[in-house]
Amino acid sequence: MVETLSVEEARRRRDEVLASVGGNECDLRERAARYMLNAEELAALTELDELDFLLSE
């Protein structure tokens, strides 16, 4: 239930998540600010934010 990540694994996972929703993070965040994300996009953005926290980035 606890997934332990290295910095490299967290960065790789971040790339995968972003690619899964088209790869344009600016567009994703801009549409998030207007609450226009579908469930999968919102889930992806939440995971990006989580990985950024874990990486302190």
Residues forming the site for other proteins (CB under 8 A)? 1-7, 10, 35-40, 42-43, 46-47, 50, 53-56
Helix (H) or strand (E) segment spanning residue 39:
helix 39-55
Least distance (Å) from other proteins to the CB of residue 27? Answer: 16
Least distance (Å) from other proteins to the CB of residue 51? Answer: 8
Q: Return the number of the residue (6 or 26) whose C-beta is nearest other proteins.
A: 6
- In sequence order, the 6+-apart residues with CB closer than 8 A to the CB of 25 are 18, 48
